[in-house]
Each structure stands twice: as structure tokens, then as C-alpha cells.
Amino acid sequence: MADAIPIPAVLPPNHNIGLPLVYYTWTMLGVSTAFLAARLYAKIFRNRSIGLDDMTISFVWVCALLYSVCVTKAVHYGAGRHYLYLTPEKVLKIITWEYVGQLFLYLGPTCGRTSVGLYLLAIIGKSRHALKTPLWVAMGVQIVLNVIALAMLYGVCGSDISIIGNVKLTCYTSRKVGAFSYFVGALDVVTDAFLALAPTYMIWRLRTRPWVKYAAIALLSLTGLPMAAALWRTIEIRTIFRDNNWDFSYGIIQYFLASTLELNLIIIGASIPTLGPLFKRRHSVLHSTTTSSRDSGEGAEIRHNLGQALGMNFAHLGNTVTITAGPHASSQEEILPMKPLPNLIKASRRVVVEHEVIQTMPPYGGFAKY
């Protein structure tokens, strides 16, 4: 340990910026809780299904709750105040709660990205879409690397808080752990970007109305909301691993802010696309479709799953007849006129007729029946 704590020539003001952090933390948790509750209600009582992605995002909420407790305890012991006005015992308490909070900070976002990936895979269903393999790879890589980073942090630091709080001996000055944490943080940002762009690739080639595609892409791209917060948190890692970081108690606030924002935005961004069924009137539906053979199979399944997941009507654009019967239903025909050939002989196209009767809104592929 250094011989003496440096004392600045001009003392900083003795104020506490930690209290606004506590209000902000619990407010963000309240907002994410409301969105998660609405998601679960839509899945259970409207779609009549709940899947692994819903269970995973619920675990993220548990991590956000426990991380909020850690932040609150750290502020209670003086986080947000300059070290000159704190006792060594309080500084150790701040480091302790920050250290405990790392567990939930690594697990939460990792499970959140996994939940988004599972949600997209459920929409793809059993179709052989090219996006399937990249989604599994992205989920697997970020899970493995975040678990390694967490193991490195706790493996190097151990559980002796007196050593962790020692400015000279603490693992927080380890260059290897710090460098790997930066790498994993950057990978998380890239993963968020990939999950935000993936819906565009999945939806763009579907044969449906353009405005429906744009709306679906916009909704599913909201899963990339935490990307900016993840980047901010990665930058603020320097607060933890900076050498001779005497004013740790004051500088850690920015890291707490970014981490809290990332955790809650993951829940919010993953929940918004699932709320569509709440605004769709439930009724018994008779759905009869004449579909071009070029859009049967893969495209038809994805359109059906998207309609169930987002509560939208992904009508096929082409040689299609759609008849919807029910107490509030209407009839809709979409038949493109045949183009005359130069010899004035009209040609007809062979079509495949698909007929399905849907009494209730079924769960889409990959989701367990509730």
C-alpha cells in the first residue's frame, strides 16, 4: 500500500451525488417491472403460452433487483462522496457492495441477450432460415466469455475484502482482468448491434405489405436499446481498474449509472415487442388462404409466428385470397390481375391451397404451451 493518502491542495466540496443515483435506480427498476409484467400478462392471458425467453428475461429482472440493492447499500456507506470525508471502513463497505454487484451485472445482461436470441429463434420456428446458426453462435460466445470474465474477477479477487480494498494489492489493478473486461464489454456491444439488426434480415424478404414489415422491424429492433448503455458501461470500466484510484467512492457513480441503465433497458427493449397482443381483439377466427407456392413453407411459418408474437396481420402479398370470419371480422381479397401476353392469351399460375382453422391464437414455434 502507498505510504500516505494524497491530500489535494484545495479540498473538494463535501456533497453527496449518490442520493440521486438511488432515486434513479429504483425508478428505472419500477419502469422495467411494469414492462415485464405487461409482457407476462400478454404471453399468459393473450397468447396462452410462455417460453424459455420469458423465464430468462424474468431472471434478468431478479438480477436488476439485486443489483439495485447493492447500489443502494453502497450509497448508504458513502458512494457518491469524496474519499477525504469517509473512514477506511466505509470505503471498504463501498468496495464490498460494488464487488458483490458484479455478479448480477454480468449475469443479467448475458441472460438478457440470450432471451432476445431465444425470442427471435422462436419466431423463426422450424423453418431453415440462414439466421438460425448466427443467433446460436452469438448467444453461445457471449455466454462463455462473460462467464470467463466473471470467473477471472472472483478467482483473482477471492473473498478477502481487506485485500480487495488495498490499493496496492487489489485485483482491481490487475491489467489482465481489466483488459479482458474491456474486451468482453466490447463484444457485448457488438452482440447488441447484431440482435438489433437481425430482425431486418429475417423480415425484409417476406412477401407482405411494406408498412407491416417496417413496423415489425422497428419493434424488434428495440431489443438493441441497451447497446448505448453497454458502451457507456464499458468505457466506465476504467473507474474500477484505474491504478491509484483513491477517489473510488466518488468516481464509481458513473459506472453505477451506466450499469443500472443497461440492466433495465434490456428488460424494457425485450418486452416492448411482445405487447402487441394486448391491443388485438380476441375472437374465434376462420382463416382460409390461397397462397403462391413460392411463399409456402419457410416464409409462411415466419409470417404466422410474427403475427402471433407481435399481434399484427402479416397478410401474404401476391395471388392470395384471405377470408376472416368472426363476430368482428371482415372479408379481404388480394388477387393480382393476370398480365396479358403479347398474343393476348392469358396464362394462369399453379397455386398451392393452404387451409387452416384457428379457433384460438396458438403459441408460435419454440414456445411451451401454458
Q: How high is the pLDDT of residue 9?
A: 67
- Give 146: exposed, middle or buried? Use CB within 10 Å, 0-12, 13-18, 19+: buried
Topology (CATH) of 18-278: Rhopdopsin 7-helix transmembrane proteins (1.20.1070)
Which residues in the chain are classed under CATH 1.20.1070? 18-278
Q: How many CA atoms lie within 13 A of 229 on its CB side?
A: 20
Mean pLDDT of the chain: 77
How many CB atoms within 10 Å of residue 137? 12
The confidence band for 171, taking pLDDT boundaries of 50, 70 and 90, is low
Read off φ and ψ for residue 6, nearest 5 degrees: -65, 135
pLDDT per residue over 321-331, tens digit each?
Answer: 444 444 444 44
Q: Which of 20-29, 272-281, 319-328 is least confident?
A: 319-328
Q: What is the mean pLDDT of residues 44-49?
A: 84
Residue 361 has pLDDT above 50, yes or no: no
How many CB atoms within 10 Å of residue 274? 26
Confirm if 63 and 111 have CB atoms less than 8 A apart. yes
Residue 90 has pLDDT above 90, yes or no: no
How many CB atoms within 10 Å of residue 360? 10
- Give 128: exposed, middle or buried? Use CB within 10 Å, 0-12, 13-18, 19+: exposed
